[in-house]
Structure 1
């Protein structure tokens, strides 16, 4: 039987590039191509198994000359499949874009034009790295800081209880490890099934039959009856990641299972009973989602009987040295190389860095350092090139913190501006302020356009429309 090829996803709105690269890699990979963020996201949701690699162009429509859609797609793909290895391809080869792409979870950044042979070698190198999550460490989670000790204490209290647990934490912080290791593997349910479903990874129309199963003929394509995740989990554990993505119309059905264990397959009237323990996770603030009407309060209160928060790396102090040692050994062993070391100035930089992409970003930095400096001492400048660590941060302009809730201060700032400028173009000035706030919101949201829109109090379509207007004559 022939060995299956790795699956490679290429996302580029230039069909000539995607087709030529697809042809170049066809012998070594099963290649899928996509032209936009929405198409790529839909395509990946329909796959039975996730791609091994993704090559993502930053300049995707609707704004082909800006990296926002590419940044957002990195987040989308990692939300769907956290272990997917993403390589960014961009005609905008500045260091800031490279750093930000890596912070979001990309393994590497490649500038256009690229040599397909060099790209193929990079793919092979990336696939060679076996970088397990931290759940193979003694105790599951690595770290001795107070936040990590507090987390372990909570998990020890909740592990063997039958009640739901809601795991909160930023992207890349290790919520899946908490679910699989502490709340299943170290409990009395360890010999029962552990099933994990990412609610963002399934098309909303398919999420209900995926969770609850369906009867034969329930919908087009349902040629046979099929059990869902609740049925397959039996009396084990069902982990629902990205629970904030659960459609509003499906939330009452999940609430029913939580309240009395009852559910029905799609297309059936027979009531079935689930005895699975429900663990959920989110990087959203579900309290804010409730206020916005996107998440039911009664479901939130049922899911959060117990709540634990996985701390971001920036709050765990010297734990980042323990994580460094853990991943450094594993990365070096996976490619049969000597581990790199950090020179004293580089170690200071490592301890100062906040790791906005959390453990995922930390792991990817170690992959790159192992590939480039195996067996060597890494200096501070070499490390700095891998970090989203700009040399300087410009100060905000005077009056930048004012908002509509302070009309007197805003009026005074406008008066001073007019006095200095003598005259101005009001439309240009207002557009500049709007653009500045939009760009700041996107930056604070790590390229997540839905989150940026929520910060600005507008919907995502409005946000895209306003951004598109920047390029209109």
Structure 2
């Protein structure tokens, strides 16, 4: 159950809107009419997310926020305000507030922003622990594994978590890099501060700089107000930059300055902003090779690589597979309402023979699919989805292009003959249409899972679907919002 606290002296409309957007029993909404009452509720039991009015009868919303931040900076606070200028709300963002919304509330926007805040709150509060082999199935948020390579990872987390230095986490996609970053954060000196995550590969190049550093009003077309970036918002806390290898070269120089001097300028601004942020970065790329090839700045690589933790791929963790399967079968059985308590030995044999190109993330997906097909207390081989090894699949498809590739090739030929002028944008649109359709077919319309596979935010996925005129006809999870 998600616990929301609304601090607002409105006695009817706003509380009713919030309760409508977040109904029981999946959510609990508490109401505080004054700033003092709100602070008392926070101290009695930390809510997951706080909605805070800027104007309260006994004190300003800003004063309430600053006290909340002193008590527990991990609680995401979303301001709600009538003032369209929002100068105070922007100031709150500079102090680390999560976001701000305008009255009257847009329920769709409210659900999106609060949903994102709940995800951030879970990352900060859900403990990351190393599970023992005998108890791993009962541990939430556990890093599971006892092979020699994983024991080295645990040692590295212990060595660096107490040191306020940058950390670079390397490893293939799906190996659990974010979980390691959260473990470093939770065991470090900034554990009471905020923790934010940004996937550099999921944000268009022209927007990534603004997302990181913010922008001034009028900095570019569409910049109708000042934006506070992640480096300013997470001041005093920890910022995890996933897939930093995909950061454009033009932006890497600014990143280097932040790491060296802890200061930057917003896009379109001249004011030097000072910050105090611990950076943890992750990538599936070989940054050392990329730096020698000119694809990544060597000086930034050396600055990031002061301390590096490498996560092994699942195919190199054969000794851990039984433990991992046991953990996820029991964990997802509870989640999906199944009563599976044992795994047939042939299931383990098939899983051990697979190469796991998607690593832990793919294993979780396979276990979930098998459990959804299961009946009875034993997970049988017949419940497993088809496991097509990457090497075999490449060999089978190398001789002939896919249907999607043929369609794209035909489209390009047609537009070339027509002497197109916007071919780059047109091809990317066609590619997005094909890719999003294929991924949503694979996830059976589950937008949350599709966004995770694509490595983008759900809101970005929804925006792309609207732009392409695509409609989702089926979703297997009830919490997967429709368009």
| Aligned residue in 2 for 1:312 | 313
Q: Report if the CA contact (8 A) 2:127-2:186 is conserved.
A: no
Pick from 143, 146, 151 the counterpart of residue 145 of structure 2: 143
Label 1:247 to 1:188 Cα distance change in 2 as closer, same or farther (>3 A).
Answer: same
Residues paired across the two proteins, number: 285
| Aligned residue in 1 for 2:169 | 167
| Aligned residue in 2 for 1:200 | 201
Q: Any idea what SS the aligned residue of 1:318 has?
A: helix
Label 1:394 to 1:356 Cα distance change in 2 as closer, same or farther (>3 A).
Answer: closer
Question: TM-score under structure 2 normalisation?
Answer: 0.53
1:49 and 1:309 mapped to 2: Cα distance?
37
Cα displacement string for residues 316-335 of structure 1 (whole angstroms, at most 9, x for unaligned residues): 22312221122112211112
Unaligned runs of 5+ in 1: 6-46, 52-82, 84-132, 397-431, 443-460, 469-473
Q: Report if the CA contact (8 A) 1:242-1:281 is conserved.
A: yes
1:50 and 1:316 mapped to 2: Cα distance?
38
| Aligned residue in 1 for 2:387 | 387
* Per-residue deviation, 1:359: 0.5
Correspondence list, 1:392-407, <5 A: none
| Aligned residue in 2 for 1:37 | none
Unaligned runs of 5+ in 2: 1-16, 24-108, 114-118, 120-125, 133-141, 406-423, 432-483
Cα displacement string for residues 75-104 of structure 1 (whole angstroms, at most 9, x for unaligned residues): xxxxxxxx9xxxxxxxxxxxxxxxxxxxxx
| Aligned residue in 2 for 1:269 | 270
| Aligned residue in 1 for 2:247 | 246
2:202 and 2:163 mapped to 1: Cα distance?
28
| Aligned residue in 1 for 2:292 | 291
Cα displacement string for residues 276-313 of structure 1 (whole angstroms, at most 9, x for unaligned residues): 11111001111222233211111111111111101111
Q: Any idea what SS the aligned residue of 2:258 has?
A: helix
1:303 and 1:381 mapped to 2: Cα distance?
46
Cα displacement string for residues 3-43 of structure 1 (whole angstroms, at most 9, x for unaligned residues): 489xxxxxxxxxxxxxxxxxxxxxxxxxxxxxxxxxxxxxx
RMSD: 3.6
* Per-residue deviation, 1:360: 0.6
| Aligned residue in 2 for 1:329 | 330
Q: Report if the CA contact (8 A) 1:168-1:283 is conserved.
A: yes
| Aligned residue in 2 for 1:179 | 181
| Aligned residue in 1 for 2:261 | 260
Q: Report if the CA contact (8 A) 2:131-2:145 is conserved.
A: no
| Aligned residue in 2 for 1:278 | 279
Cα displacement string for residues 37-60 of structure 1 (whole angstroms, at most 9, x for unaligned residues): xxxxxxxxxx99999xxxxxxxxx
* Per-residue deviation, 1:205: 0.7
1:352 and 1:219 mapped to 2: Cα distance?
53
* Greater RCO (Cα-Cα under 8 Å, separation 6 or more): 1
1:235 and 1:394 mapped to 2: Cα distance?
48
Label 1:356 to 1:362 Cα distance change in 2 as closer, same or farther (>3 A).
Answer: same
| Aligned residue in 1 for 2:216 | 215
Q: Any idea what SS the aligned residue of 1:249 has?
A: helix
| Aligned residue in 1 for 2:304 | 303
Q: Report if the CA contact (8 A) 1:318-1:351 is conserved.
A: no
